[in-house]
Structure 1
Amino acid sequence: MSEPARPSDRPLYPISVAAELAGLPAPTLRLYEDKGLVTPARTEGGTRRYSDADLARITRISELVESGVTLAAVAMVLDLQDDNADLSSQNLGLRRRNSALREDNTRLRRQNDTP
């Protein structure tokens, strides 16, 4: 079972491009940043640079706002979604580790049962 592709965290897009890709005005992206909903990288000169992961997050924010969720509630929803993603990732890792340990245990039993 393969994991879904994750958006890149590499900061690529200036705010004008990010706004165009997200279909939102640049001031909205600044508002989302002011509210702590998205944190774009900054160049040495202080210019914002958005990644594909930032754009995916902005899309989630926009969808929630369009459905009537307040920005304060959006922050809580995003935190819960991030926590859920982290827990799912940890769970997957634990399942893989458990499977490997079971295989090791089976292999060791077979070795010990062989005369």
Structure 2
Amino acid sequence: MYSYDEPVYLISVVARILNIHPQTLRQYEREGLIEPGRTMGKMRLYSQKDIDQIKTILRLTRDLGVNLAGVDIILRLKNKLDELENEIEELRIENQKLATQQQAREPTKAPTISRKSSYELIIFKEN
């Protein structure tokens, strides 16, 4: 089985799956909205991740009426938000480790942190 990021689908297959013209996929690539892999012979190959990205682009353009410049901004913001959420998760784990170390040194109220969507929740346990 192929990984989510592994480019395996030809442009004609992706166009057929998504019911769009191959030229639309080429336009999305020219606009920088997608970046398919390439074979040694320069043929485009798309991964499942690329297909999901194209579905998002189609949803924004067809259903919400966003133009391609707007789609580019939305996708960049989404990627930045994903990066920030990953950073928050890393900090949450580090904070939890520090809290555990602190609790081992002095058993007082230690915060328990749990993730809820894009927000952090801090709950203090009563001893």
> Structure 1-normalised TM-score?
0.84
What percent of counterpart residues are identical?
A: 36
Q: What is the Cα-based RMSD across aligned positions, in Å?
A: 1.4
CA distance in 2, matches of 1:36, 1:57: 12
Per the TM alignment, residue 19 of structure 1 is displaced from its structure 2 partner at its CA by: 1.5
Which of 79, 84, 99 aligns to 2:81? It is 84
Q: Gaps spanning 5+ residues in structure 2: where?
A: 108-127
Tell me how many residue pairs correspond in the alignment: 104
Q: Judging by fraction of residues, say which structure has more strand.
A: 2
Greater than 4 Å deviation, 4+ residue runs: none
CA distance in 2, matches of 1:92, 1:100: 12
Q: For residue 26 of structure 1, what is the aligned residue in structure 2?
A: 22
> Structure 2-normalised TM-score?
0.76
Q: For residue 113 of structure 1, what is the aligned residue in structure 2?
A: none
Give the counterpart letter for 2:9 in structure 1.
Y
Q: Judging by fraction of residues, say which structure has more helix.
A: 1
**Greater relative contact order, per chain length (Cα 8 Å cut-off, separation 6+):** 1
Could you give the per-residue CA deviations for residues 74-101 of structure 1, whole angstroms, max 9, x where no partner exists? 1011101111111111111111111111
CA distance in 1, matches of 2:85, 2:28: 26
